[in-house]
Amino acid sequence: MSARVAQSKGVVLGFVFILCVGLCTLPPPALAQIGNATLSGAVTDASGGVIADAELTLTNQATGFEQRVTSNERGEYTFRNLTPGTTT
């Protein structure tokens, strides 16, 4: 093998090494925040007693969409599949 061919192989191997190191140091792609949320809790009175069958309404302020739920016998409620945004 001539010195010129050996030198060319060395240059190619050096380039491949630098390329591999460069690719390994790239940050992973960022994931977008997607999906919906769930909000849950319990309805209680001032003494801490549960309030069953309480009707709750959550309103998305941007769209005006309302979701209604009723608390169960333990005062628990869950709003499911909420889209991102400000609610009241």
Domain boundaries, the chain: 37-82
Per the CB < 8 A criterion, the answer to whether 45 and 21 are in contact is no
For 25-84, where are the alpha helices, taking DSSP H only?
A: none
Query: What is each CA distance from 3 to 9, 10, 15, 16, in whole angstroms?
Result: 10, 10, 18, 20
pLDDT in tens, 25-45: 767 766 655 678 889 999 999
Residues of the chain scoring pLDDT < 70: 1-16, 19-24, 26, 29-34
For residues 6 and 40, what is the distance between their CA atoms, to the nearest angstrom?
69
| Predicted TM-score (pTM) above 0.85 | no
